[in-house]
Structure formats: structure tokens, C-alpha cells
Amino acid sequence: MRTASSESSSSQRPLGPAQLAASGAFARALAVAARLGLADLTATQARTSIELAAQTGTDPQTLALLLRTLAMAGVFDIDGEGRFGLSEAYQPLRGDHPQSQRHVCILVAETYDDAFAGLLETVRSGRSGFRPALGTSLYDYLAAHPDAEAIFDEAMAELARPVARAIAARPGFAGAAMAIDIGGGSGAFLRGLLDAHPHLRGICLDRPSVCARAAQRAGGDARLEFRAADVFSEIPAGGDLYLVKNVLYDWSFDSGLKLLAAARAAMAQTAAAEPGRAAPRLLVVEPLFERDSDAPRALFQKVICEDGTRGLDEAQLRRLIEAARLRVLGVERLETGHSVFECAP
């Protein structure tokens, strides 16, 4: 099925109005399949809907409809005996796939889709739709809904792992002993860097509920500390490498400035405390708004994130960084689509 985010230059025929209107139902069906683990159950062996219903404790008739609906979208192939097998294109729906997007699918099709009930409000006012739809801001909502928050954190981890591999391959780690990830979620990004550089230790700063869950899962890792902190005011000194990944794109210019100013203060304090030590660096790793095809992501940002958040291009992100009195030493594009701004105070 072609989605609303596909390129308009695609040779496929666009969806008709009623088909496009039904795409939310397909998204919800995908999230249910992800929650039930249907991708894992059908990845290596095609199964009947009866078998799958027994394995997932679901209603056989309804599950058959769900599977057929998703087969229409290309998620499952149906063989001559009516058995469902996960299609090649949807392998990342598996939980054990190296590029798994299982939790990303659940997050986007559930919490983000719930927030899109506020889209009309966003289009009318330009303000976030999250509060009109769900009564509060994204992170306060997640703090109050632990199941949604756990899905969010796992989704961020799925998205972060390939970026960690790309960042870990860059030079500049040999002289660094301590990396501090600002808004580092459940620590997957930092974990990737620590795995690649065994001399490195890390502190992952995030909200209290995120840190508590991540620390419990990590089970006492001497090299990776989870520290509850408000990243707008509580960034500690002592890092050789500060990291801000997929964080600024959540916030307005003013909030981003506040966060970067707190990072700069921590870096300046580090340098002042130990004059002989190499000056700390900050890596800002963010997706940019560069092409028309980035419009769906920028629309997501407007609906989901803080009022005033918008997709930034390279010049705009550079302006934000420089407004926080940080120098941009270089900008690099990663294969993941992120841009890396290497910065110093």
C-alpha cells in the first residue's frame, strides 16, 4: 500500500480518497500485529490464522481478517494453503531483526496517531496538537502512561542503534574518557558507543521515570550510569564528549537554546576545572528538514512536539547552536539521514 508520505513522483497510482482515509485503520492493524508478535511467529514458517490465533490467544475469525487486511498492504504473503508468512519488506517488524522497527510501528500507530486527533487544531493555529488531543504535553503524557513510555523508549532505541554505529566509527573517541548523553533515553545510543570503545564511560541524562526503567534493565553496568536530570538546567560538568541526539527536533528555538546553553555552561565548567585537559566537544546529531519528502516528519514535529517546534534546515540549526555561543567546527552527513554538528564552546 502506498502511504501519504510516499514521493509524489512515484510511478504507483495514488491512493483514492476512501483508501487514504482508511490508512489509519491499516496503521492500527500493523500496531496490533506488532504487539501480538505476529511477525516473529511467521518470519521463518508460514502459519494458518487458526494456528496464530491459538498462539496469540486471539479470536480466530477476527485474527484472520486482520491478517488478510495486512496481506493487502504487503505485510504478509499468503500461500496456496491459506498460510500467512511475513513478507520480505516487513522483516523489520520482527522483534529480533537487527534493524527492528517493531516498537517504532507501535509508537507511531498508537500514541502519535492518538495525538493526530489534534491535527486540525495544529493546522488552524500552528500550535501543537498533542495537548488538545491528549490533555497534556508529550513527555508529561508518557510519564503518566508507563506502557506508552516503555514503547517510546524502545522505539527510540531501535532508531538510535544504527546511528550509534555510524557515530562510533568517526574519529575522536581515543582521547575521550567520559561521554554525557543529554536526553539519552534508555541509553541505546550511548551503549552503542561504549561497546565500540571499551575505554569509554558514559552518563545518560533523562527524565526520572526513563532513567529508573533503563537502569533496572541495564542491571548495574559499571560503565554506564543513568542520571535523572532536567536537561534544560542540570547538565553536569566532567564530560569529554557531550551528545545531543534527536532532542533539539522536539523543541522550539527558545527551549533548544536553553538546553544548548546548559550544555555550554557544563563544558566551560569542565574546561575551567582542569585547564590542561582537552576542551570538551559537543556532537549535535539531528535529522534536518531538507527536502519536500521531509514534510511528513516536520508535520509530525508540529503536531507531537512543543508549540513552536519546526523542522530545521542546516542553516537554522547552525543559527541555534551559535545563538548558544557554541562554535560549529564541522558538519557531516550520516547515511542514516542525520547531520552531525561538531561543536566547541
Binding of residue 141 to ligand SAM (CB under 6 A): no
The CA distance from 296 to 311, in Å, is 10
Beta carbons within 8 Å of 90's beta carbon, 6+ residues apart: 39, 74, 75, 76
Site string for ligand SAM, 209-238 (x = CB under 6 A): -x------------------xxxx------
Alpha carbon 248 to chain centroid distance? 12
Residue 277 one-letter amino acid? R
Minimal CB distance to ligand SAM: which residue?
183
Among the listed ranges 4-12, 245-253, 261-269, 324-332, the one in contact with ligand SAM (CB under 6 A) is 245-253
Select from 110, 154, 206, 286 the one that contacts ligand SAM (CB under 6 A): 206
The CA distance from 258 to 69, in Å, is 46
Binding of residue 247 to ligand SAM (CB under 6 A): yes
Select from 191, 207, 264, 302 the one that contacts ligand SAM (CB under 6 A): 207
**Minimal CA–CA distance to 42: which of 28, 55, 26, 29?**
55
Per-residue exposure over 141-158, b if at least 16 CB sit within 10 Å of its own CB, e if not:
bbbeeeebbbbbbbbbbb
CA distances from 134 to 31, 119, 142, 261 (A): 19, 12, 11, 31
Binding of residue 139 to ligand SAM (CB under 6 A): yes
Binding of residue 288 to ligand SAM (CB under 6 A): no
Select from 189, 289, 300, 341 the one that contacts ligand SAM (CB under 6 A): 189
Residue 67 or 185 having the CB closest to ligand SAM: 185
**Contacting ligand SAM within 143-162 (CB under 6 A):** 156, 160
Select from 154, 250, 286, 306 the one that contacts ligand SAM (CB under 6 A): 250
Instruction: Give the strands of the sheet with 241-245, arranged side by side.
Output: 224-228, 201-206, 178-182, 241-245, 281-287, 338-344, 327-333
Select from 118, 129, 183, 202 the one that contacts ligand SAM (CB under 6 A): 183
C-alpha cell at 166: 555510524
Q: Are 45 and 85 in contact (CB under 8 A)?
A: yes
The CA distance from 88 to 272, in Å, is 54
Binding of residue 185 to ligand SAM (CB under 6 A): yes
Size of the site for ligand SAM (CB under 6 A): 19
Site string for ligand SAM, 70-99 (x = CB under 6 A): ------------------------------
Q: Cβ 205 to ligand SAM, closest distance in Å?
A: 6
Binding of residue 103 to ligand SAM (CB under 6 A): no
The CA distance from 217 to 219, in Å, is 5
Select from 94, 103, 245, 302 the one that contacts ligand SAM (CB under 6 A): 245
Q: Cβ 126 to ligand SAM, closest distance in Å?
A: 21
The CA distance from 56 to 108, in Å, is 22
Select from 31, 36, 141, 184 the one that contacts ligand SAM (CB under 6 A): 184
Chain residues in the site for ligand SAM (CB under 6 A): 139, 156, 160, 183-185, 189, 205-207, 210, 229-232, 245-247, 250
